[in-house]
Chains A and B, each alone.
Chain A
Amino acid sequence: MTHIKPQEIEALLEAFDNSPWQEMRLKVEGLELFLSKTPGATAHSEPVAQHPADPAPFATTHATALSAPPRAVSGGANATSAPAHVPDHWIAVRAPNLGTFYRAPKPGAAPYVSVGQAISADTEVCLIEVMKLFTSVPAGVAGTVRKVLVEDAELVEYDQPLFLIEPA
């Protein structure tokens, strides 16, 4: 099992989710997987999932963060490879749909938010443009902006992490 298909990870997640188990550890060549049904649980070694805010290992989006899928989602997905040491309680603001990401309300204007800034749940953090239709994205969580994960004017995909927020 040197080459693991995304489907196999999906199947594993599904099996785990339907099982009575609380935790599962899997270590094969090139892949280390830790699954837990306890919110905030961490593996003793490196955390594998890079979206630590999500409690249950279910959504397929988790698989993008694993090392296994070789080229399942290209382009924008690179932006999801956040630095390794992200505190577990930080929360990602994600793209509600595909579109072009803008940090400021118009060209040349100051960005909606900057790293270190305190925000509330309804603070607008960016714009997503779809064919000249601009929609603002609220943070959805109160706290402090810790990271901006996407470059201005970059194409983002549905569910792609855009910012990391340290909750208040």
Chain B
Amino acid sequence: MALRRILVANRGEIALRIVRAARSLGIETTLAASAADRYSMAAREANRVVVIGPPAARDSYLNPRLIVHAATATGCDGLHPGYGFLSERQSLAALCDEAGVVFVGPTAASIEAVGDKLSARRLAKAAGIPMTAGSEKLATAAEAVAFAEGVGFPVVTKASAGGGGRGMVIARDASALADGFERASIEAKEAFGDGTLYVERYVERARHVEVQVLGLGDGRVLHFGERDCSLQRRYQKMVEEAPAAALPEPTRRRLHKAAVDLLASIRYRNAGTVEFLYDVERDDFYFMEVNARIQVEHPVSEMITGVDLIRLQLEVAGGETSRFEQHNIIPHGHAIEARIIAENPDRAFAPSPGRIRIWRPPHGPGIRLDTAMEEGANVPPFYDSMIAKLIVHAPDRPAAVERLRAALESFVVDGVSTNILFLQGIAQHPDFISNRVDTRWLESVFLPQYGQPKEA
């Protein structure tokens, strides 16, 4: 049954994006906002706003019971969680089931199956997906060292319960691993409430590639091509592209098939992303993890395939899946997204909340801006400081890079500090222009050069 009214359980640009996508399908929206967001753009455009709690996320956006109560009390038959916050929390999907509200996302069982990384690795293994040599969970540093000596250094520790770099320590020898193991476990425990670690062989020159999929819930899984998100700082993505231009065509096809096979094996429903490491030297890829949600960087896939993934999410959740066919999804051109963040790159990327005094975004062919900011709007200090996503699309990568550079140069923001100048530096860098980057390039090559006087 098609959805009639959904609760939007998020904030910022993604909340606005969901409100608009719903409206385009004739679906009404209730926005569940914290007190800090009651006058946001999404609040203005939603059919109704309910203030669920105070600004602190743990008492508002991170409380699944408040959110599901808001959905039922305002007559919603669906709930879209966006990204971040509770989007991959099994408990939110389960509470929705309990309340008879359609969760716009995977089933609670799927979220659980792919959410724990060790469980996801077992699924991937069973589906025949290539993986780096990795251990099962390890109780002690000694066990980790024994495993690493078997597969060879370097290795990386990973938290079973979550990602984002927490619990990750790269070790090049046994003593570094012994030293780092405890620290990684404490970090994982603090971040996810679970200090369980496993260890994987570490790929030195890797690119982060990922496949956008949409499961129809009946075993059919469509893909929308892949993205390259190698430009990261502290495991946070900064610039994302589609397609991953560094992949040879046969590798790309194998990558798509691996992602589809993995999620088809659990009859995955709705949008998801399968992340892989691409080993540039060996021309091989390895499974990393599944993100059971729509991701920040989904627009680059939309630009090259000409679809609206949020609309598709709402349609799949409403049970309308008959007209979707893989052969209708044909990628065109190249798209790049740069995350515009209210932060100060010259002060260790400190967040810079405040009121936007001047907001003059770029316009022109092939330029898209996903944002909920405008002149006079407030960037509250309580949440993630991303204020916009600048997305460019052009016939090929060189043209897209040029378009990105020009768009960043004409983007004027005042009132808060932003990383726009920093992104300009990336867009002009010869390594980026010629696409010779890997996941460590930003931190090991670009950052040390940034702000230094240019050599003649």
**Selected contact of B48 from candidates A6, A75, A131, A159, CB within 8 Å:** A75
B233 at the A interface (CB under 8 A) = no
Please judge, given known A-B contacts A157-B51, A158-B53, whether A7 and B35 are in contact too, CB under 8 Å: no
Name the B residues within 8 Å of A115 (CB-CB).
Answer: none
Decide if B52 touches A131 in the complex (CB within 8 Å): no
Name the A residues within 8 Å of B429 (CB-CB).
Answer: none
Name the A residues within 8 Å of B125 (CB-CB).
Answer: none
Most interface-central of B36, B73, B377 (chain A CB within 10 A): B73
Name the B residues within 8 Å of A89 (CB-CB).
Answer: none
**Selected contact of A73 from candidates B49, B53, B68, CB within 8 Å:** B49
**Selected contact of A74 from candidates B48, B65, B376, B378, CB within 8 Å:** B48
Q: How far is the CA of A97 from the CA of B35 in the complex (A)?
A: 10
A143 at the B interface (CB under 8 A) = no
Q: How far is the CA of A99 from the CA of B60 in the complex (A)?
A: 12
A88 at the B interface (CB under 8 A) = no
Nearest chain A residue, comparing its CB with the CB of B357: A11
Interface string of B46-90 (1 = CB under 8 A from A): 001111111000011001011011101110000000000000000
Please judge, given known A-B contacts A11-B355, A76-B50, A131-B99, whether A98 and B69 are in contact too, CB under 8 Å: yes
Decide if A97 touches B50 in the complex (CB within 8 Å): no
Interface size class of B (residues with CB under 8 A): 20 to 34
Decide if B51 touches A159 in the complex (CB within 8 Å): yes
B4 at the A interface (CB under 8 A) = no
A124 at the B interface (CB under 8 A) = no
Name the B residues within 8 Å of A69 (CB-CB).
Answer: 39
A10 at the B interface (CB under 8 A) = yes
Please judge, given known A-B contacts A60-B39, A159-B35, whether A97 and B376 are in contact too, CB under 8 Å: no
Q: How far is the CA of A100 from the CA of B65 in the complex (A)?
A: 12
Interface string of B21-52 (1 = CB under 8 A from A): 00000000000101110110001100011111
B95 at the A interface (CB under 8 A) = yes
**Selected contact of A98 from candidates B43, B50, B378, CB within 8 Å:** B50
In the complex, how many angstroms separate the beta carbon of A77 from the nearest chain B beta carbon? 9
In the complex, how many angstroms separate the beta carbon of B326 from the nearest chain A beta carbon? 40
Within 8 A of B (CB), among A122-137: 129-131, 133
Decide if B74 touches A75 in the complex (CB within 8 Å): yes
Interface size class of A (residues with CB under 8 A): 20 to 34
Name the A residues within 8 Å of B355 (CB-CB).
Answer: 11, 14
Decide if A73 touches B376 in the complex (CB within 8 Å): no
Within 8 A of A (CB), among B89-115: 95, 99
Interface string of A12-41 (1 = CB under 8 A from B): 001000000000000000000000000000
Q: How far is the CA of A150 from the CA of B298 in the complex (A)?
A: 43
Name the B residues within 8 Å of A157 (CB-CB).
Answer: 50-52
Please judge, given known A-B contacts A11-B376, A157-B50, A157-B52, whether A72 and B66 are in contact too, CB under 8 Å: no
Name the B residues within 8 Å of A133 (CB-CB).
Answer: 65
Most interface-central of B52, B60, B99 (chain A CB within 10 A): B52
Interface string of B156-182 (1 = CB under 8 A from A): 000000000000000000000000000
Please judge, given known A-B contacts A7-B376, A72-B49, A74-B48, whether A131 and B65 are in contact too, CB under 8 Å: yes
Decide if B378 touches A7 in the complex (CB within 8 Å): yes
Name the A residues within 8 Å of B73 (CB-CB).
Answer: 100, 155
Decide if A72 touches B51 in the complex (CB within 8 Å): no
Decide if B39 touches A6 in the complex (CB within 8 Å): yes
In the complex, how many angstroms separate the beta carbon of B63 from the nearest chain A beta carbon? 8
Name the B residues within 8 Å of A155 (CB-CB).
Answer: 50, 70, 73-74
Decide if A8 touches B66 in the complex (CB within 8 Å): no
Within 8 A of A (CB), among B1-37: 32, 34-36
Decide if B378 touches A10 in the complex (CB within 8 Å): yes
Decide if B50 touches A72 in the complex (CB within 8 Å): no
Nearest chain A residue, comparing its CB with the CB of B63: A97
Q: How far is the CA of A8 from the CA of B52 in the complex (A)?
A: 23
Name the B residues within 8 Å of A5 (CB-CB).
Answer: 39, 376
Q: How far is the CA of A11 from the CA of B377 in the complex (A)?
A: 9
In the complex, how many angstroms separate the beta carbon of B95 from the nearest chain A beta carbon? 7
Decide if A72 touches B53 in the complex (CB within 8 Å): no
Q: How far is the CA of A75 from the CA of B49 in the complex (A)?
A: 8
A61 at the B interface (CB under 8 A) = yes
Name the B residues within 8 Å of A11 (CB-CB).
Answer: 355, 376
Decide if A72 touches B38 in the complex (CB within 8 Å): yes
Within 8 A of B (CB), among A151-168: 155, 157-160
Nearest chain B residue, comparing its CB with the CB of A7: B376
Q: How far is the CA of A111 from the CA of B87 in the complex (A)?
A: 39
Decide if A7 touches B377 in the complex (CB within 8 Å): yes
Q: How far is the CA of A72 from the CA of B46 in the complex (A)?
A: 10
Nearest chain A residue, comparing its CB with the CB of B48: A74
Decide if A130 touches B35 in the complex (CB within 8 Å): no
In the complex, how many angstroms separate the beta carbon of A96 from the nearest chain B beta carbon? 8
Nearest chain B residue, comparing its CB with the CB of A64: B38
Decide if B38 touches A60 in the complex (CB within 8 Å): yes
Nearest chain B residue, comparing its CB with the CB of A100: B73
Most interface-central of B34, B53, B69, B378 (chain A CB within 10 A): B69
Given pairs A74-B49, A99-B69, 6 additional interface contacts (CB within 8 A): A7-B39, A10-B378, A72-B49, A76-B50, A97-B52, A97-B53
A-B contact pairs, 10 of them (CB 8 A): A10-B378, A60-B35, A60-B38, A72-B39, A73-B38, A73-B50, A97-B59, A130-B69, A131-B68, A155-B73
Ranked 7 nearest A-B pairs via Cβ: A6-B39, A157-B51, A98-B52, A155-B73, A7-B376, A158-B51, A131-B65
